[in-house]
Amino acid sequence: MEKEAMNREILEIVEPMFRRELQVTEFDPEAPLVNYGLDSIRSISLVVEMEAAFDIRISDEQAAGMRTLRDVVEQVSQSLSVQVGQGGDDA
């Protein structure tokens, strides 16, 4: 899948998670998430939800780097790409 299309699909899934958790109606994908009230507890909750939704693992270091919604989409995209690249060793 083309990266831009994949990122759009990821955004369509993660944006509602963030809107619900932070109780906001809209997001600027470039704005810092702390501006919307993201704190460490909400961040952990969202990371766990994203890991379950996409069947990926996001490390604490990766989570710390996710400062905007655009960063979140990029991290999920990278995690999915790594996961795809790891499969198929049992041939």
Tens of pLDDT, residue by residue over 26-83, are 889 999 999 999 999 999 999 999 999 999 999 999 999 999 999 999 999 999 988 7
Mean pLDDT of all residues in 5-24: 95
29 three-state secondary structure: coil
CB atoms under 10 Å from CB of 84, counted, come to 10
Instruction: Find the radius of gyration of the CA atoms of the chain.
Output: 13
Q: What is the pTM of this model?
A: 0.87
